[in-house]
Structure 1
Amino acid sequence: MAPVILVTFAGREHRMQILNSYVRKAMADGLIDEWHIWDFTRSQADHEWVTREFGPLRYMGDAVSYQACGTATSRAPLRLEARITNDLHIALLPKHEPDAFYEIVVGGWNNLQCVVRKGPRERLNDPDRSDAELTWAKLTPSVLSPGRDNEVILSVDPDGTPELMVNGVVLGRWPEVSVPEGADVMIRGGWGSALELCHVNAPVRRYIGNPGEQMPYFQAYQYYARRLSDFADALFLKCDDDIVYVDLDRLAGFIDHRRKNPHYFVTSANVVNNGVCAYFQQASGALPTSLGHFERPPGGFGGTLWTDPDKANKLHDFFLAAPKKELPLPAKVVDWQERQSINFIAWLGRDLQHMALAKGDDEKMLTVDLPAFLGRPTCIYSDFTVSHLSFGPQEQGVDVNRLITAYDALMREKLAV
């Protein structure tokens, strides 16, 4: 059966905890099959939280620093299936030697050579570790295969000597790299080569984009577009990390509508605190004029709600106080041919053939440029409501802590937790 995959660009812990609860419940109920968490965090604390909270690592960009992937001991080898073309870096952190690490470079120098280096652990994530002590080197042409998931087995014998095998070939056995108590293992790609750990198929899993990108989201779209054959039958949901209410009773209807209406390029949920949705919510009479005037944003972008925290606060308070958590639009499905915020959208996996997005404004590409190019509209589905906490221009005045507390209470009521 075609899987339903939710993609979330993460993640701010304080804002994402509520979404975490809704999605875990949706997965438990069988509404969502996989949750792909893309770590685009901007603080170390948020990165550490995402790492703790969201399961094993599946993918990391070529500029991502070392990430934990397991342990190797005499009782249990570490087994990996790594999709990478060159420069697979494996770090051994000996349990008996807390100040040092050994780095095994597999397929370095354009997939020509393997080396083992030793260095102080404080330099583990230095961008350049080439001046570390070289303890072993070997010519290994084409050791990593671009045509398969490379099978990597790191074992430790009873004397603490590690051995590395790649695709059935023993690369080396190193008595000088003794780990008698075993070692924690970290892994990364490098030098232009991203790393995918293909044995990781947990329902909730992490993907880490390259740090420091100002508009990083193209990395996720390109990842899926390059794997069209893997995802062509899937249905994708994508939501912001600060979605603070999800009507799980109506999610199945939203998914069903998306499946049965392939002529739409993307379909949006009916979003609280979204300029285009608010315009239609007020046009239908669902939002009273006492909350202010919610105009049609010019070209679907910006508008007063996007910039006005007072309007956002009032809108959230109105929704929280409403007996029924719904703000109907003028029709069950509203066709749309201008820009709209992509706070919670859906697309079909087959359309990934059009989604190898260039670096830039992914929202404009998905809701304006590609629909215009393909001659396909977008739409808003009225009967599935979510609430979006805030836009950047609202940040200075939106009462984030108060609203999160209120939405947390609503979530606990809805999910009976």
Structure 2
Amino acid sequence: MIDGKRVIAWSPYGRRRTYSILIKYLERDVARGLVDEVWAFMNTDPTGQEGDIAFAHELDEQFPWFHLKHRPDGVNLGRLPKQRYTGLAYRYMTDPEAIYLRLDDDVVYLHEDAIENLVRARIEMPAPIAVFPIIINNAICSHFLQMCGKVPMEWGEVKAYCMDPTGWANGPFAVKLHEMLLDHIEAGTVEDLYLYQDFPLAPGTQFSVSCFASRGADYAALDRPGVLVPDEEESWHTVHHPLATGRPNIIRGNAVVSHWSFFPQHPFLNGTDLLDRYRELADKVA
């Protein structure tokens, strides 16, 4: 718990390769009393992902605080890509006394103060729908990091747009970001990447939702508790609901996490040893 609120960390789950890194950080923060439960919302294909599914079940058997969540019964969204089903997870998130921390299953680093600082900001700030950390490899975060002199302009300028060609799709740029963060981690200087302030995101600003903290009270207050309309979670959290309520989202300046990859970056990142470096670091924290 943090400030009397239960903290539930959850992921749309599908990839053992990267989640096996993230779970080490979550295990650390459960042991520190910062996280009460960890959920894997199963978002896998029925065939071709047997190893990924088996790993999630192994974690469920190993840890009493780890739980599997499945798509709710009776909900049929038609023949959609599996990424569209993640919005159904919020039907489980209606505890008004809980803070929910969403983490992509390819978040591969959580600074030791990230969860506490992010959740406390979510508790203290009544206005935002979502409070985001500084996400390394997120286009809008890269934009603000450049504005604050943390990321060189020489790597390619990033505009404040979630699918900016440099910040979202440029593989060599992503490689440089991860190398920069890993060097800071290994030197013990991650705090040098903190922003000097929190940055508001105007209602309607689409933002890649790789990691954010939100309140169960907000989902419980919906006309149908936990049911997002529209059901696509990124649009609901960053475009539609902020516009409907006039509530800006916030990037918290003192919480750092790392998101591995957007699909255009895969060929570049997979040709490096960067994920191995992240894994070696994670093995040291649990």
Q: Normalising by the residue count of structure 1, what TM-score does the alignment of the two structures yield? A: 0.59
Please report how far the alpha carbon of residue 55 of structure 1 lies from its aligned counterpart in structure 2 after TM superposition.
3.7
Once residues 12 and 401 of structure 1 are traced to their aligned partners in structure 2, the CA distance between those partners, rounded to angstroms, is 19
Please report how far the alpha carbon of residue 254 of structure 1 lies from its aligned counterpart in structure 2 after TM superposition.
1.9
Which whole-Å deviations, capped at 9, do the CAs of 1:224-257 have from their partners, x for residues lacking one?
3xxx3xx011111101001111012342122111
User: In the superposition, relative to structure 1, how do residues 37 and 400 fare at CA in structure 2: closer, same or farther (>3 Å)?
Assistant: farther
Matched length: 263
Considering Cα pairs closer than 8 Å and 6+ residues apart, tell me whether 1 or 2 has the greater RCO.
2
SS at match of 1:305: coil
Which whole-Å deviations, capped at 9, do the CAs of 1:2-45 have from their partners, x for residues lacking one?
31111111121111111010000100100000111111123122
Match of 2:39 in 1: 36
SS at match of 1:304: coil
Residue 83 of structure 2 corresponds to residue 218 of structure 1: no
Residue 139 of structure 2 corresponds to residue 289 of structure 1: no
Residue 223 of structure 2 corresponds to residue 343 of structure 1: no
Match of 1:263 in 2: 127
Structure 2 regions of 5+ residues with no counterpart?
Answer: none
User: In the superposition, relative to structure 1, how do residues 280 and 249 fare at CA in structure 2: closer, same or farther (>3 Å)?
Assistant: same
Once residues 264 and 359 of structure 1 are traced to their aligned partners in structure 2, the CA distance between those partners, rounded to angstroms, is 18
Please report how far the alpha carbon of residue 202 of structure 1 lies from its aligned counterpart in structure 2 after TM superposition.
4.2
Which whole-Å deviations, capped at 9, do the CAs of 1:67-95 have from their partners, x for residues lacking one?
xxxxxxxxxxxxxxxxxxxxxxxxxxxxx
Residue 256 of structure 2 corresponds to residue 391 of structure 1: no
Candidates 141, 161, 167, aligned match of 1:277: 141
Percent of aligned positions that are identical: 26
Task: Report if aligned partners of 2:18, 2:105 keep a CA contact under 8 Å in 1.
Answer: yes
User: In the superposition, relative to structure 1, how do residues 258 and 379 fare at CA in structure 2: closer, same or farther (>3 Å)?
Assistant: same
SS at match of 1:407: helix
Which whole-Å deviations, capped at 9, do the CAs of 1:309-328 have from their partners, x for residues lacking one?
11111111122123312423
Residue 181 of structure 2 corresponds to residue 314 of structure 1: no
Once residues 4 and 296 of structure 1 are traced to their aligned partners in structure 2, the CA distance between those partners, rounded to angstroms, is 30
Once residues 258 and 8 of structure 1 are traced to their aligned partners in structure 2, the CA distance between those partners, rounded to angstroms, is 18
SS at match of 1:276: helix
Name the stretch that deviates more: 213-222 or 7-16: 213-222
Once residues 258 and 223 of structure 1 are traced to their aligned partners in structure 2, the CA distance between those partners, rounded to angstroms, is 19
Larger % of helix: which?
2
Which whole-Å deviations, capped at 9, do the CAs of 1:179-217 have from their partners, x for residues lacking one?
xxxxxxxxxxxxxxxxxxxxxx94211012279752111
Match of 2:29 in 1: 26
Task: Report if aligned partners of 1:313, 1:399 keep a CA contact under 8 Å in 2.
Answer: no
Please report how far the alpha carbon of residue 349 of structure 1 lies from its aligned counterpart in structure 2 after TM superposition.
1.1
Larger Rg: 1
Match of 2:56 in 1: 50
Candidates 328, 334, 344, aligned match of 2:194: 328
Once residues 218 and 172 of structure 2 are traced to their aligned partners in structure 1, the CA distance between those partners, rounded to angstroms, is 38
SS at match of 2:269: coil
Mapping for residues 172-211 of structure 1, pairs under 5 Å = 202-209=64-71
After superposition, the CA RMSD in angstroms is 2.2
Match of 1:372 in 2: 243
Structure 1 regions of 5+ residues with no counterpart?
Answer: 57-200
Once residues 248 and 239 of structure 1 are traced to their aligned partners in structure 2, the CA distance between those partners, rounded to angstroms, is 15
Q: Normalising by the residue count of structure 2, what TM-score does the alignment of the two structures yield? A: 0.85
